[in-house]
């Protein structure tokens, strides 16, 4: 039988390991979201052009216009250096279909009088399939567009006490375009 002193020591050690281990589980340096988990804007919903299949978002057959999806970033993401979007489009630089993916933030204010979002969104990093066309990386025709989130190739540290963070994906398909415009997922790491 253990003495009360030994039991206290074991309990304190277990609590220390739990708290220390819990911090490693909570703080994350990777986040991935497939497009089925993202929310279409009201404009996108009203057009009825969005089609979700197997986690991907794409245009319905014959659909054209713009699809805008917003994906919340959890407050457990602590820091990242890169953003990658996996997509399919016509692969034509500067013309045709387009996928623009942006990492954005909005300032949040807690002041007891007026709490809530206090600013317009600002863009931290953005990829544009019409500005750079990476090679096809899969038999299904997907491309991976990877970008450093900071121009200095440094690490972005999230400040969840001051900002909300989200990913916005804009998919554009001009009228008369028949090729696929599909986004599978976005990763931050």
Look at strands 82-88 and 143-148 and give their pairing: antiparallel
Distance separating alpha carbons of residues 178 and 29, to the nearest angstrom = 38
Beta strands in 92-181 (DSSP E): 98-109, 116-117, 122-128, 143-148, 156-157, 163-173
**Which residues of the chain, if any, have pLDDT below 50?**
4, 6-25
Q: What is the structure's pLDDT at 117? A: 62
Residue 77 carries which DSSP code?
B
Q: What is the structure's pLDDT at 54? A: 87
Phi then psi dihedrals of residue 35, to 5 deg: -70, -20
Distance separating alpha carbons of residues 115 and 117, to the nearest angstrom = 7
Q: How many CB atoms lie within 10 A of CB 164?
A: 15
Distance separating alpha carbons of residues 122 and 33, to the nearest angstrom = 21
Concatenate the DSSP letters of all residues of 132-144 into one string.
Answer: --PPB-STT--EE
Tokens standing for 21?
């281990």
28-188 adopts what CATH topology? Jelly Rolls (2.60.120)
pTM of the model: 0.81
Residue 60 carries which DSSP code?
P
CB 130 within 8 A of CB 94: yes
Q: What is the structure's pLDDT at 73? A: 97
Q: How many CB atoms lie within 10 A of CB 129?
A: 27
Q: What is the structure's pLDDT at 108? A: 82
């Amino acid at each position: 039988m253990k003495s009360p002193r030994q039991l206290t020591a074991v309990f304190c050690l277990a609590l220390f390991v739990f708290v220390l281990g819990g911090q490693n589980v909570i703080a994350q340096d990777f986040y991935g979201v497939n497009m089925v988990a993202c929310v279409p804007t009201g404009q996108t919903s009203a057009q009825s052009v969005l089609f979700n299949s197997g986690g991907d978002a794409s245009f319905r057959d014959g659909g054209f216009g713009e699809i805008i999806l917003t994906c919340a970033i959890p407050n457990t993401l602590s820091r990242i250096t890169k953003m990658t979007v996996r997509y399919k489009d016509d692969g034509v630089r500067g013309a045709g279909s387009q996928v623009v993916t942006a990492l954005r933030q909005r300032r949040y204010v807690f002041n007891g009088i007026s709490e809530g979002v206090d600013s317009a969104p600002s863009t931290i990093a953005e990829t544009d399939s019409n500005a750079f066309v990476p090679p096809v990386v899969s038999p299904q025709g997907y491309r991976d567009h990877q970008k450093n989130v900071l121009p200095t190739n440094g690490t972005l540290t999230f400040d969840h006490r001051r900002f909300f963070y989200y990913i916005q994906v804009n998919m554009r398909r001009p009228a008369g375009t028949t090729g696929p415009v599909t986004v599978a997922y976005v990763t931050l790491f």
